[in-house]
Amino acid sequence: MTLAQWFVIVVVAVPLAFVAANRLRVEAGALVIAVCLGIAQWLGLGVLGPPNTPGDAVKAISGFGQPVVITLLSLFILTQCLEEAGITRAIANRLLAAGGKSETRLIGLFATVTALLSLFMNNLAAGALMLPSALSVARRSGVRPSKLLIPVAYGSLLGGAATYFTTANIIASNLLLTANPPQAPLGVLDFTPTGGLVALAGIALLILAGKRLLPDREPSPEQQVARHTGSELEDVYQLGERLWEARILSGAALAGKTLAESGIGRELGLSVAAVWRGRHAHFAPTSDFQFMEGDVLQLIGGEERVNQLIAQGVSVSREPLSGHMSLRGIRVVEVLLAPHSRVEGQSLRELRFRGRYGFTGVALFRGGRSYRTGVADLKLAPGDSLLLAGAPDRLPALRNSPDFILLEPDAGDQPVRRKQAVLAIALIGGAIIAAVLGVPTYLAMLTGATAAIVVGLVSLDAVYRKMEWRVIILIAGMFTISIAMVQTGLVNLIGDGMRDALDPTSRASG
C-alpha cells in the first residue's frame, strides 16, 4: 500500500472512532476528514488529485455542489411546503379517525403512510413530517409512542428502498457519475421493482407482528407533556364563552369606518382577531383597517359590550365552529414576559403591539384568572401570560423579540390551506414527472423548490429553521472520501479483496 492510501485510511478511521465513542458528532467528523484531505492535497500528497497539484485541494469542498446535495436541499424545501399547507396535519387527523385506538391498525397505517410519503420525498423528510403526527395520535389515542414511532422510522426506510429519493439511493446514483469510466445514473423508477417488494413485505410484517414485537415503553416526560393545540390553549384561557361572530349588515353605521373610528377596541374593550371579507381573511387588522358591508368580524369580549354593536347595524352570534378560533385558521400563540422585560408596566395599546408584531392580544392570564375584555389596556406585569391571535407569517417578529418568550402550540388543529396544498402537490408532482421523463433529477427538484419560494408557498426563514443541515453537511463532507478512495486506488484495492474473499478461484485465474 502507498503512503497516500495509508493516509486516507488513518484520516477516515480516527474521526469515525471518535464518532463511535460519542466524542464527536458525525457531521463534524465528516468536515474534519474533508479538511484533512484538502490540506494534504495542498501540501503535495496526491489524495484528491495528482501529487503536487495544490489547486486540487478545492475538491475537499466539491461535495457541497454535487447533485445529491442540491436534490436533498430541494426535497427539504418541497417537504416544508406540505407542512406549511397543513397536509401532514390532515394526514394525522385522518389516521386517528381511521385507526381509532387499535394498536394494530395505527401501526399499519403509520408504516404505510410514511412509506408512501417516502416514495415522493426524501425518507428523512418523510420521517420528520410524520413523527409529530405520531406523537399527537399517541397522546390522543392512548397508544404508547414507541408503538408508533418505530413504524414511522421503518416505514420511511421501506418506502425509501423503492424510490430514488432516499438519501442512500441518491448517493449511489451520483457515485455512478464519478466512476471511472463514468456510468449512467439511476432513474427515478429503477429502484421500484425490487424495493417495492421489500417495502410490501416489511409493512406486512409490521401489521401482522408489530403489536407483539414492538417495545411497549413508558413515554418519556417530554412525550407525556405534549404541546397544547391552539384550541386547547383557547380552552385554558376560557375563550369560548367570550367568542363572537359579528356580521356588518347592509346600511350599517359601522360600514366605512376604520377600526380606530369604530371604538370597538378603545371604547368597548373588544378584541378583533380577524375579519373575513368573502373568502379572504384579514388577521389582527390594524387600526386603519376600514370595515365594509358584509364583513364578518371575529370578536372576543363580554356579551353586554358586544351587543352594543347591534345599534350600529351589526348582527351578533356565537362562534359557529365549537367556539375555537384555531379551527378557522387563526394562529393562536402564547407569550410570557421575559425576565427584566422592558415592557413591564405598559399596556399593549401603549406598545402599539398589533402594528409592531401583527398579533392581537385576546386574553391575559394573571393570578389564576383569565381576562378577556379590555386586554389591550391592562398594564403588563411579571408572571403574566398572553394569548395572541394573528397570521402565521408574522411569527418571526415575535420570535426575535427580547421582551417576550414565545410558546408556539401544536398546529394539529389548524385547517388545511387548500390553495397552498393544491399548489404544493402540483409542484412536487410536476417535478417528479419531469424527472421520470428524463430531466436531471437535481434540476427538476431545484426548479420545483425555487418555484415554491417565488410564489410564496414557503418562506426562506422557515426553510432555514427546518432544513436538515446535519444531513447536508454529512453527505457533502463524506463525498470527499469517495474522491480520495478513487484517486488513491483504495476502491480497487477493496474491490479486489472482496472479490478474492468471495471467489478464491479468481486469484488463481488472475
pLDDT tens string 252-292? 888 889 988 888 888 888 888 889 888 788 888 888 899 99
Same-domain pairing of 249 and 300 = yes
Same-domain pairing of 113 and 214 = yes
**What's the confidence (pLDDT) of residue 417?**
82
Exposed e or buried b for every residue in 298-330, given b needs 16+ CB within 10 A?
A: bbbbbeebbeebeebbbebeebeeebbbbbbbb
Would 167 be classed as within a structural domain?
Answer: yes
Angle, in degrees to the nearest 10, between helices 469-488 and 167-177:
30
Confidence of residue 93 (pLDDT cuts 50, 70, 90): confident
Confidence of residue 224 (pLDDT cuts 50, 70, 90): low
**What's the confidence (pLDDT) of residue 495?**
73
Among residues 224, 254, 289, which one ends one of the domains?
Answer: 224
CATH at 284: 3.30.70.1450
Would 14 be classed as within a structural domain?
Answer: yes
Separation CA 168–CA 387 (nearest Å): 45
Separation CA 441–CA 309 (nearest Å): 58
Same-domain pairing of 217 and 100 = yes
Q: Which domain holds residue 25?
A: 3-54+484-509
Same-domain pairing of 177 and 126 = yes
Q: Is the pLDDT of residue 320 over 70?
A: no
Question: Quick one: what percent of the chain has pLDDT higher than 90?
Answer: 15
Q: Is the pLDDT of residue 121 over 90?
A: no
Q: Is the pLDDT of residue 346 over 90?
A: yes
Element of type H or E holding 171: helix 167-177
Same-domain pairing of 34 and 120 = no
**What's the confidence (pLDDT) of residue 34?**
92
Same-domain pairing of 111 and 166 = yes
Element of type H or E holding 232: helix 230-236
**What's the confidence (pLDDT) of residue 398?**
87
Same-domain pairing of 116 and 184 = yes
Q: Span 425-450, mean pLDDT?
A: 87
Same-domain pairing of 186 and 284 = no
Residues 373-416 pLDDT 10s: 889 889 999 889 999 988 877 888 888 889 999 988 877 677 78
Separation CA 209–CA 108 (nearest Å): 10
Residues 159-169 pLDDT 10s: 888 877 666 67
Would 463 be classed as within a structural domain?
Answer: no
Would 231 be classed as within a structural domain?
Answer: no
Would 219 be classed as within a structural domain?
Answer: yes
Cβ neighbors of 411 (< 8 A, separation 6 or more) are 86, 89, 229, 230, 331
Same-domain pairing of 20 and 49 = yes
Would 289 be classed as within a structural domain?
Answer: yes
Same-domain pairing of 204 and 95 = yes
Residues 450-490 pLDDT 10s: 999 998 888 887 788 778 788 888 888 888 888 888 888 88
Same-domain pairing of 217 and 253 = no
Q: Span 178-182, mean pLDDT?
A: 67
Q: How many CA atoms lie within 13 A of 485 on its CB side?
A: 17
Among residues 319, 341, 372, which one ends one of the domains?
Answer: 319
Confidence of residue 17 (pLDDT cuts 50, 70, 90): very high
Among residues 261, 296, 319, which one ends one of the domains?
Answer: 319
What total number of domains does the chain contain?
3
Confidence of residue 506 (pLDDT cuts 50, 70, 90): low
Same-domain pairing of 127 and 213 = yes
Would 33 be classed as within a structural domain?
Answer: yes
Would 234 be classed as within a structural domain?
Answer: no
Give the least confident one: 153-167, 214-228, 444-458, 486-500: 214-228
DSSP 383-414: T-EEEEEE-GGGHHHHHT-SSEEEEPPBGGGS
* The three cell numbers locating residue 162: 423503492
Full-model pTM:
0.69
